[in-house]
Amino acid sequence: MAARRISSLLSSSATSLGRFSSWGRRIKSFSTAAAAAIDEPIHPSIQIDHTQLLINGQFVDAASGKSFPTVDPRTGDVIARVAEGDLEDVNRAVAAARKAFDEGPWPKMTAYERSRIMLRFADLLEKHTEEVAKLETWDNGKPYEQAAKIEIPMVVRMFRYYAGWADKIHGFTVPADGQHHVQTLHEPYGVCGLIIPWNFPLLLYSWKVGPALACGNTVVLKTAEQTPLSAIYVSKLFHEAGLPPGVLNVVSGFGPTAGAALSSHMDVNKLSFTGSTATGKIVLALAAKSNLKPVTLELGGKSPFIVCKDADVDKAVELAHSALFFNQGQCCCAGSRTLVHESVYDEFVEKAKARALKRVVGDPFKMGIEQGPQIDNEQFKKILKYIRSGIESGATLESGGEQFGSKGYYIQPTVFSNVQDDMLIAKDEIFGPVQSISKFKDLEEVVQRANASSYGLAAGVFTQNIETANTLTRALRVGTVWINCYDIFDAAVPFGGFKMSGQGREKGIYGLSSYLQVKAVVTPLKNPAWL
Amino acid sequence: MAARRISSLLTRSLSVSSSSVSTLFSSLGKNSGRNGIGKRFSTAAALEDLIVPPVQIAYTQNLIDGKFVDAASGKTFPTYDPRTGDVIANVAEGDAEDIDRAVAAARKAFDEGPWPKMTPYERSRIMLRFADLVEKHSEELAALETWNNGKPHEQAAKSELPMFIRLFHYYAGWADKIHGLTVPADGHHHVQILHEPIGVAGQIIPWNFPLLMFAWKVGPALACGNTIVLKTAEQTPLTALYVAKLFHEAGLPPGVLNVVSGYGPTAGAALASHMDVDKVAFTGSTDTGKIVLELAAKSNLKPVTLELGGKSPFIICEDADVDKAVELAHFALFFNQGQCCCAGSRTFVHERVYDEFIEKAKARALKRVVGDPFRKGVEQGPQIDTEQFEKVLRYIRAGIESNATLECGGDRLGTKGYFVQPTVFSNVMDDMLIAKDEIFGPVQSILKFKDIDEVIRRANNTRYGLAAGVFTKSVETANTLTRALRAGTVWVNCFDVFDAAIPFGGYKMSGIGREKGIYSLHNYLQVKAVVTPLKNPAWL
């Protein structure tokens, strides 16, 4: 049901997925009816209609004529060849966005008109949920049920949410010393360059495009080279919903070419990037070196998931599992440091291992599958390298540890216990299905260890004690604290990082400020009745 | 186009008339010339051959707990066509017993849900679906509104229905954006604020904008998760029943919105004094507003929002664009047959432009097209009922007797229904009744002033404080007047710009609280502070 929040969907799917996994119990280690499924991938019954760049409302080839392959992570086979945008295409897209901003009609429309177009787009997208979800799973490898029942409804929901903001962007009138009348106007920035990653291609599309358009900006969007397909498809729908040409331009391509061109463009007024911390630093440096455009960054994480001694262990095990393994572990806010109090540690490790062994890995198009392949060969290799490093550094491998099957980029759900803070697997963002469990003794210690990270994106806290919850909430240096829950993504809840996890916030009312300039307007008052 | 704001619709229609005044008026003049009747007001013909409204009356019962039901007493009352005084339909007459039933339904729907327990997203979706349904039924609704109220059909269809839809789109968007604050406190405490629905809201709406006032009240109340008992005006019960039915088709659960038709002293008083109603919002006259507030105080001290009368100044400074000011001052007063609480009913004109203004204001009033509101191009229909009609004529006589100069109009128009000639008085003095009382009819009172300080003092010298218009090219004059005027809305070089996002309400005896915009949400939200100790906090 479209109206459910992602949180409730997740908790209900967590239960039902448990049911699926018990069906598979005959298979001892990983219950995947999978091996078979992986040999014979289900063919998604969908055509790839759009592979070109979308500039000024029209599909066009890359200026260079070049294209690049996008790959099915289940097999490594090519799905389609996509126009490869680079500097010249970014220039053209920015010119179109510039014109659409400077000449209108987008920023000159009433906010109501903008909101109506966004609402119509949400309705159209809702109608096409099935095709879009198929495209998302095919290109990304994530479970189809997750795409169709959680992510696309959430994208629809985000656009309805931001459609509602379009006509609710208030400035202030401001009290000033002396005889002056002061007001602030919240104005669109202009042309926004948006760079999105491959782990949630459409969700992150909605996090960025939604508020940027609601505020009256125009957009040049660069998608990840791994997952260019769904953004092109839905952007076409956006134009069908009445979006004027040039307002939303989509360029497929690679970071060092298209992404860098966008980041350094002198005519782009704002950048927003989601991806790795290493790339985020480059984006920020390019913005600084070019026109000093403001940058919103949503980067990596190594989020602690803290299980206190008074926690409901069964619930904590299940949520710590989904906090890490959700989306093949490819979440910037994955709970990748599971810190468990010593009094429940042994029980927790045993149950966490049992849960991982029951995880249903296989063809993401199959019903009941919890985990599909990793996104690509590079990520796949990187994760296996981290697993070897975990073993070599003396952590206890409780389950998994290897490739799953022999084709595509599947990895066994992997659990390490006895992980020490100085091990690589406790410090680096692995971005894969590898859970690292460590032991702690008291609150002060866990606060200090949880915060001893260059990241600060999110944290989970499991306790039944309100004082512990309140103490940890304030002490943790992170952008989101989930208490007795995890991965609650709601359109209204802001998301973003402390420290090297990023700058700024997305979603909610906070997400708007990334796309608004503030203009103070001051004029003298003659003989004012009051001040 | 649905996406246009009422303001832009209004400006557009105004700019047509002001930029090409001659074209528009000459074409209207042509019509009246062809009819050859009535030199002054181009109408009478239209009044003899009334258009049959293209709509059936489908709903006349009370809507309680999702069902149409007769009044407990079995009684009904007639509702009229103001063009003729003929009965349109007999409507169930709610009184205390029906209010009790409606409140019980609303109470249950609030306490047991599902409405306040739904996600705001679900509530917003139902409101959006409702807006879409109303859009589909705009034609019938506009016809019904005009039939029951007498307002020009073009105004109902092209301004008011789109604005109604727009308001529900707007409030649907608020449902999931109601933020509380977290609060810094001295000492080791964690403090957060919850903004909660109040519960059962009693809402009493007037007859001058039956659907728009429905939207102003029902929109925010439902967006905030409340349930409602709505009492409509006895003059105009029909459209609210129709749209409330559509709301249920859009998925509104039973009991969330209950509509009771009936009279103020019975149904209205029962609602205002009900011990199980948590909030009352009333729009109507200042006299009735006082009674509502008193009943609330005497019963359970429920908070009250009041949107009452006005005697709004429309100030034309010496540097104003006179032609534009004449057109807008005309519109500010005569719009909706002068039946606006914020009507610009004291037209203050600087002495330097006074004579020119009078001449042009009179000429404009003489050209005003009065007639069957269903006819295209008609600007003014009948007043709402015989009581208002008589009252307006009484004020006109008072104006003449007190020696104001009658520039035009001054009498009824035709012989049937409640039509009144567009009437302009000049040389109006502050102590005349027509300069002090709310006439609520097509009677413009023009006053002369000399300087800014004087006009501020005179403009503020009223028990009302709803709105004001300021016409000037000087940014300093505009800023000075803006702060000095004791009114809830100041329109600078415009008037009657009603936007979903702009708050509206009165100073002084024009009311309490604000409707529309973010401010209106406060009327329907309780504020709860939640405080808990912090042990060893990392920061304070």
CB contact under 8 A, A528 and B479: yes
Mutate to test the interface with A, among B7, B535, B539, B540 (most CBs of A within 10 A): B535
- Interface contact A509-B176, CB threshold 8 A: no
Higher per-residue confidence, B19 vs B403: B403
Q: How confident is the model at residue A29 (pLDDT cuts 50, 70, 90)?
A: low
| Chain B positions in Cβ-Cβ contact with residue A157 (cut-off 8 Å) | 121
**Which whole number is the average pLDDT over A499-519?**
96
The answer to whether A427 and A386 have CB atoms below 8 angstroms apart is no
Give pLDDT, residue A30: 57
pLDDT of residue B38 exceeding 60, the answer is no
- Burial of residue A266 (CB within 10 Å: 0-12, 13-18, 19+) is exposed
Tell me the CA distances in angstroms from B101 to B108, B109, B274, one per residue in order. 11, 12, 11
The closest CB to that of A170, out of B479, B500, B518, belongs to B518
pTM: 0.88
**Stretch among A20-29, A438-447, B277-286 having the lowest mean pLDDT:** A20-29
Predicted pLDDT of residue A38 = 53
**pLDDT-derived band at B11, boundaries 50, 70, 90:** very low
Tens of pLDDT, residues A173-186: 998 888 999 999 99
pLDDT surpassing 80 at residue A200: yes
Q: Which architecture characterizes domain A53-300+505-517 according to CATH?
A: 3-Layer(aba) Sandwich (3.40)
Single-letter amino acid code for the residue at B270: A
More confident residue, A19 or B235: B235
Q: Tell if the CB–CB gap between A112 and B539 is shorter than 8 Å.
A: no
Tell me: pLDDT of B36 over 80: no
* Token pair in block for residue B254: 């039973």
Q: Do B121 and A115 touch (CB under 8 A)?
A: no
pLDDT tens across B402-424, in order?
Answer: 999 999 999 999 999 999 999 99
What gap in Å lies between CA B51 and CA B168, rounded to an integer? 31
Check A168 against B128: CB less than 8 A apart.
Answer: no
Confidence of residue A31 (pLDDT cuts 50, 70, 90): low
Give residue B7's pLDDT. Answer: 37
Any CB–CB contact under 8 A between A470 and chain B? Answer: yes
Q: Which of B33-42, B73-82, B89-98, B299-308 has the lowest mean pLDDT?
A: B33-42
User: Is B24 a residue whose pLDDT tops 70?
Assistant: no
B40-77 confidence digits (pLDDT tens): 555 444 566 899 998 999 999 999 999 999 999 999 99
What is the rounded average pLDDT for all residues in chain B?
92
Q: What is the pLDDT of residue A8?
A: 37
Structure confidence at residue A36 (pLDDT): 45
Q: Provide the 8-state DSSP code for B521.
A: G
Please say if B224 is a catalytic residue. no
Res A13: pLDDT: 37
> To the nearest whole percent, how much of chain A has pLDDT over 90?
90
First to last CA, chain A: 52
Superfamily of domain B313-505: Aldehyde Dehydrogenase; Chain A, domain 2 (3.40.309.10)
Tell whether A292 lies on the interface with B, counting CB pairs under 8 A.
no
Nearest Cα residue to A499 out of A460, A454, A450, A458: A454
pLDDT value, residue A24: 35
The token pair at B257 is 């919105």
Count the alpha carbons within 13 Å of B239 in the hemisphere toward its beta carbon.
Answer: 34
Q: Which of A113, A159, A168 to mutate to test the interface with B (most CBs of B within 10 A)?
A: A168
Q: Is residue B20 over pLDDT 60?
A: no
pLDDT band at residue A40 using 50, 70 and 90 as cut-offs: confident
Distances (CA, A) of A493 to A323, B298, B360: 18, 43, 57
Of residues A113, A470, A526, nearest to B535 (C-beta) = A470
Secondary structure element (H or E) that encloses residue B295, with its range? helix B286-298
Residues of B with CB under 8 A from a CB of A: 2-5, 8, 118-119, 121-122, 124-125, 128, 166, 169-170, 172-174, 176-177, 179, 190, 456, 475-476, 479-480, 482-484, 500-501, 518, 532-539
pLDDT for res B28: 34
Nearest to A70 by CA among A88, A51, A87, A85: A51
State how far the Cα of A333 lies from the Cα of A204, in Å rounded to an integer. Answer: 14
Share of chain A above pLDDT 70, in %: 93
Is B537's CB within 8 Å of A474's CB?
A: yes
- One-letter amino acid at A457 equals L
pLDDT at B101 over 80: yes
Q: Which pair of structure tokens corresponds to residue A481? A: 């604290």
Give the 3-state DSSP-derived string for A4-34, with helices as H, strands as E and coil as C.
Answer: CCHHHHHHHHHHHHHHHHHHHHHCCCCCCCH
Q: Where in chain A is the domain with CATH 3.40.309.10?
A: 304-492
Question: Nearest CA to B150 among B389, B372, B330, B390?
Answer: B372
pLDDT tens digits, one per residue of B185-216:
888 999 999 999 999 999 999 999 999 999 99
Q: Going by DSSP bridges, is the β-strand pair B76-81/A480-483 parallel, antiparallel, or unpaired?
A: unpaired
* Residue of B482, B483, B532 lying closest to A466 (CB–CB): B532
Whole-number Å distance between alpha carbons of B406 and B427: 9
- Residues in A touching B521 (Cβ below 8 Å): none
Set of chain A residues whose Cβ sits within 8 Å of the Cβ of B164: none
Contact indicator for B140, A134 with CB cutoff of 8 Å: no
3-state secondary structure at position B89:
strand
Which residues of A are known to be catalytic?
A: 298
**Distance (Å, rounded) from C-alpha A413 to C-alpha A359?**
7
Is residue B494 part of the annotated active site? The answer reads no
Specify the pLDDT at position A228.
98
Q: How many CB atoms lie within 10 A of CB B154?
A: 18
Q: Where are the domains of chain B?
A: 62-308+515-526, 313-505
Could you give the residue range(s) of every CATH 3.40.605.10 domain in chain A?
53-300+505-517
The per-residue pLDDT for B29 is 33
How confident is the prediction for chain A on average, in pLDDT?
93
Question: B62-308+515-526: which CATH number, 3.40.605.10, 3.40.50.300, 3.30.70.2390, 3.40.1710.10?
Answer: 3.40.605.10
How many whole angstroms separate alpha carbon B183 and alpha carbon B529?
Answer: 9
Report d(CA A274, CA A349) in Å as an integer: 33
Residue A224 pLDDT grade (very low, low, confident, very high; cuts 50, 70, 90): very high
Question: CA of B469: how far to CAs of A286, B312, B466, in Å?
Answer: 52, 8, 11
Chain A nearest CA to B440, separation (Å): 30
Distance CA B247, CA A84 (A): 50
Question: Where do runs of H (alpha helix) occur along B345-492?
Answer: 351-366, 386-401, 433-436, 452-460, 475-484
- The residue-averaged pLDDT of B465-482 equals 96
Q: Coil, strand, or helix at residue A504?
A: coil
CA distance A137 to A72: 9
pLDDT band at A7 (very low <50, low <70, confident <90, very high): very low
Average pLDDT over residues B94-105: 98
Contacts of A121 in chain B (CB under 8 A): none
Q: Give the residue-averaged pLDDT of B418-434.
A: 98
Q: How far is CA A84 from its chain centroid? A: 23
Query: If you average pLDDT over residues A125-145, what whole number do you get?
Result: 98
- Cβ <8 Å between A526 and B538: no
Among A residues 92-131, those touching chain B with beta carbons less than 8 Å apart = 110, 112-113, 115-116, 119
Could you say which of 3.30.1360.170, 3.40.309.10, 3.90.600.10, 3.40.50.720 is the CATH number of the domain covering A304-492? Answer: 3.40.309.10
Is there a contact between A110 and B8 if contact means CB atoms under 8 Å apart? yes
Predicted confidence at residue A171, as pLDDT, reads 95
